[in-house]
Amino acid sequence: MTEQPAADEGAPGEGTTDGGTPTATDTADGGTPVPTASVDAALASLEDDGLRGYNYAYLDEHTKREVRRAMLKAVAIPGHQVPYASRPMPLARGWGTGGIQASLSLLGPGDTFKVIDQGADGSVNAANIRRLADNTADVTTTTDTTGADLIQSRHRIPEEVLTDDQRLVLQVPITDPLRNVDPSDAANRRRHAHANYGKMWVHLYENVVEYGEINIAARYPTMVAGRYLMDPSPIPRWDVPKLDDADHLTILAAGREARIYAVPPHTAVEPLAFTDREFTVERFPDQACHACGSTDTYLVEVSEEATDRGADAFETRYACNDTSFCEKRREHPELSKDHHLDREGVDWGPGTPDAAADDDTGSAADQGGTGQ
């Protein structure tokens, strides 16, 4: 990484501490260039100028161009993993560095940016990524899904329907769905090249043998445009159908693995399943969000202190995973997931709670215990 430029150094461009004009306090052995006597003063000076010397949107233009090129290629070959350079970012690889590079390459000053981490806008990782974009790319940030031009997300697709004006960037820890069945990337690339997915089907078969249904919680293997098998990132099964024939562009970017792939708008995305063991989403029978009462959203179990039942008592409650939509629902309980669209009844994600309940009783009974 480049060092932070000295506070009083006016050199534009990338951090050029080494080759640039030495400052008064710059020591020969390359010690701290921040001219200060105390930590507080150092922090104050960084707050002013810490980002001076960085390019717009943190990455230099060549890097952004390379990432964009990879994205274009990914769009042209839906579901195919396109390699890119993956620069070091001010964050450990595997913590969203791929997503950040994709987002920063796409963002412009007029854009509104939203970052979600497992459904929440407020978690540390999401807040930091949002702040990085805010500081370096001069974008407006929001937590409102409908107001965002670009949404970077880890492990969720928002509940509210995304439109063709919006782009979704998903952070990807592991790019190849086949790695579950064969650790050799070389062999797996050959399998992708020839659409030879027999081993993954065996994995699904054994899943049914063991559980009576395909019980892959996240990273559900998914065919894109009938050609490439894709790891849709660790989104829950609940979110996978949202990618099918979606209006928005989805970019999936992995920093550690240096791969980018994409689902262009209106692309067929089909989760692998048997004709007699169909793809199912998570079910939350008889549960509703304790905060907003929703029954048609993806719920998570939260264990909270139940002080009314005495000290050290805990209760398990269900809550919407998408915090921004939950907040809206709390104010308008009847708000639909497509409330912001001109059209109505947009098919987005799993159906209504009634349909889900029907599906539940039907398929669970059929599928349970047929393993032997």
Among residues 95 and 197, whose Cβ is nearest to another protein? 197
Are the beta carbons of 299 and 287 closer than 8 angstroms?
yes
Residues 6+ apart with CB under 8 A from 267: 78, 224, 225, 243, 244, 245, 246
**From 89-97, 163-171, 190-198, 284-292, span contacting another protein (CB under 8 A):** 190-198
**From 82-90, 121-129, 169-177, 272-280, span contacting another protein (CB under 8 A):** 272-280
The active-site residue out of 20, 99, 289, 349 is 289
Among residues 274 and 314, whose Cβ is nearest to another protein? 274
State the nearest-atom distance from the C-beta of 312 to another protein, in Å.
43
79 catalytic? Reply is yes
The CA R_g of the chain, rounded to the nearest whole Å, is: 23
Q: Binding residue for another protein (CB under 8 A) from 87, 114, 154, 277?
A: 277
Residues 352-371 that bind another protein (CB under 8 A): 371
Q: Does 179 bind another protein (CB under 8 A)?
A: no
State the nearest-atom distance from the C-beta of 273 to another protein, in Å.
9
Say how far apart CA 70 and CA 260 lie, in whole Å: 7
110 catalytic? Reply is no
Q: Binding residue for another protein (CB under 8 A) from 62, 274, 285, 354?
A: 274
Residues 192-211 that bind another protein (CB under 8 A): 194, 196, 198-199, 201-202, 205-206, 208-210
**From 218-226, 261-269, 273-281, 325-333, span contacting another protein (CB under 8 A):** 273-281
State the nearest-atom distance from the C-beta of 363 to another protein, in Å.
13
Closest CA to 18 of 7, 35, 8, 31: 31
Neighbours of 366 (CB within 10 A): 14
The active-site residue out of 15, 96, 292, 349 is 292
The active-site residue out of 53, 96, 326, 349 is 326
Binding mask 205-244 toward another protein (x if CB under 8 A, else -) reads xx-xxx----------------------------------
The active-site residue out of 79, 96, 98, 212 is 79
Residues pairing with 72 in the sheet: none
Among residues 179 and 199, whose Cβ is nearest to another protein? 199
3-state SS class at 34? coil
Among residues 47 and 210, whose Cβ is nearest to another protein? 210
Counting residues that bind another protein (by CB under 8 A) gives 17
State the nearest-atom distance from the C-beta of 176 to another protein, in Å.
17
Say how far apart CA 152 and CA 297 lie, in whole Å: 20
- The H or E element spanning position 44 is helix 39-49
Binding mask 126-165 toward another protein (x if CB under 8 A, else -) reads ----------------------------------------
For CA atoms 81, 298, 354, 339, give the dihedral sign: negative
Are the beta carbons of 176 and 231 closer than 8 angstroms?
yes
State the nearest-atom distance from the C-beta of 196 to another protein, in Å.
6
349 catalytic? Reply is no
Residue 127, class by beta-carbon neighbours within 10 Å (0-12 exposed, 13-18 middle, 19+ buried)?
middle
Say how far apart CA 34 and CA 221 lie, in whole Å: 50
292 catalytic? Reply is yes
User: Two tokens at 229?
Assistant: 């098998």
| CA-to-CA separations, 160 to 106, 149, 156, 267, 354, in angstroms, rounded | 22, 14, 12, 19, 19
Q: Does 275 bind another protein (CB under 8 A)?
A: yes
Residue 124, class by beta-carbon neighbours within 10 Å (0-12 exposed, 13-18 middle, 19+ buried)?
exposed
Residues pairing with 249 in the sheet: 167
How long, in residues, is the chain? 372
Say how far apart CA 56 and CA 143 lie, in whole Å: 23
Which residue type sits at 287?
Q
368 catalytic? Reply is no
Among residues 97 and 280, whose Cβ is nearest to another protein? 280
Contact residues for another protein (CB under 8 A)?
194, 196, 198-199, 201-202, 205-206, 208-210, 274-277, 371-372
Instruction: Please list the active-site residues.
Output: 79, 289, 292, 320, 326
